[in-house]
Amino acid sequence: LSPQAGLAVLLKAERLFHSSYHSQAVHIRPICRVSLSLGAPSFSTPNPMPSDASCLAVSWELRQTLTVVFDTFSTGQGKKDWSLFKMFSRTLTDACPLASQSKVYVDISPKNKEKELLEVSPAPTSVHEAIVQGDKRTYAVYDLLSPSLFNTSRSLNVQLKWKRPQDSSELPTPVLHAQRYVSGYGLQAGEISTLIYNTHPYRAFPVLLLETVPWYLRLYVHTLTIITKGKENKPS
């Protein structure tokens, strides 16, 4: 069965699998539904499991995520304009009837404090501001459950355009970025090196590194080395 509504309509296999990167994940964790507080049960919003034995009822939370990275700059012949239809060959037509929330966030943060150089269409239902890695970010929010979103059109094709052409050299470098390369050859002399850079002037960030290893490649965990600022850190 193919999805007919909600964000799942964008999951077109031939588009996702030809992207620069895609990753699917399933997260399962216990959630405390009822906890004992000051001698009386507390029925509040589900929270992660407490460290003590005050939890009276446990539920399980299932969270599925899909991360996709499109290289729109290369595929768009050097243009940074993009749209949902250009990336997925589809548009959004309706919200999932089973979803309590269904939103699309578009990062519209200006590069500097001057006049904003980008515009997003159609007009978002709201604007959200948040602090990400120490920087203030602005997001255009499209709420698929909002009745006014599909009033003017029966489909939603979010588009982002730049008001004037931008030089490729002006692309900002992310605060956290990484690169990986393979050196040597064979199972004995072959190596996989991953370099992670933090360009923030003073702040450190937690990093979760996921490696996709082909089935024919055999890795020896005891040869893993982690070097930070020229010093070796022992992996846990």
Non-local (6+) Cβ contacts of 140 within 8 A are 105, 106, 108, 120, 124, 127
| Residue carrying the six token digits 């970025």 | 177
41-65 confidence digits (pLDDT tens): 454 555 665 555 678 888 899 999 9
Q: 80-119: per-residue pLDDT in tens? A: 788 999 888 888 888 888 889 999 999 888 766 555 677 8
Task: Name the residue range of residue 212's domain.
Answer: 176-233
- Tell whether 24 and 98 lie within a shared domain: yes
Interatomic CA distance for residues 233 and 236, integer angstroms: 9
Peptide bond between residue 147 and the one before it cis (omega within 30 degrees of 0): no
Per residue in 169-197, pLDDT (tens digit) is 456 678 888 998 888 888 778 888 899 99
Q: Is 94 domain-assigned?
A: yes
Domain final residue pick, 112, 134, 162? 162
Could you say which of 162, 188, 209 is where a domain stops?
A: 162
223 & 113 share domain: no
